[in-house]
Structure 1
Amino acid sequence: MSVCLTVDPCRCPLCGQDNRCAMEAKAPANAQAACWCTREQFSAALLRQIPEAAQGKACICQACVQKAVQTT
């Protein structure tokens, strides 16, 4: 049996919470502001935690980024 899991680009692939990604927000293209993630550093170790199915499809949320920074 095969299971099809859909990746939600508006949910963090690590914790499942809203990632508040401005790139995925439903707003007019001309009103789009820069995403919070453009001001953050994502470590290679944090990026390796993203499940393969979600890589390049869903952003990590700010809470998970901050948690990773605090534990390094």
Structure 2
Amino acid sequence: MVCPICGEGNACVNLGNKDVSRSCWCNDPSITFPEDLLAQIPLAQRRKACVCRSCALKHQENKQVK
């Protein structure tokens, strides 16, 4: 799966065919997915594609700097 924001692999365990008993990186409570991040996903891909860890962390860092 690819990130709908940057186009890189999102390493999502939940949507892949990998071992679903493992927890995905996106379940880390220190990583947030605020509405303004999710709004960057193209409409056709919302609720169908996962943002990658890099984009989520970059968004968090940018919010903390402001």
Q: Fold match, TM over 0.5?
A: yes
**How many equivalent pairs are there?**
61
Runs (5+) with no aligned partner, structure 1: 1-9
Cα displacement (A) at 1:11: 0.4
Deviation (angstroms), 1:23: 1.0
Q: Indicate whether 1:17 and 2:8 are aligned.
A: yes
Q: Which runs of 4+ in 1 moved over 4 A?
A: none
1:54 aligns with 2:28: no
Map 1:1-72; keep pairs closer than 5 Å: 10-29=1-20, 32-39=21-28, 40-72=31-63
Q: TM-score, normalised on structure 2? A: 0.83
Amino acid at match of 2:10: N
Q: CA RMSD in A?
A: 1.2
User: TM-score normalized by structure 1?
Assistant: 0.77
AA aligned to 1:63 is S
Q: Give the share of equivalent positions with the same residue, in percent.
A: 36
> How much has 1:28 moved relative to structure 2?
4.8
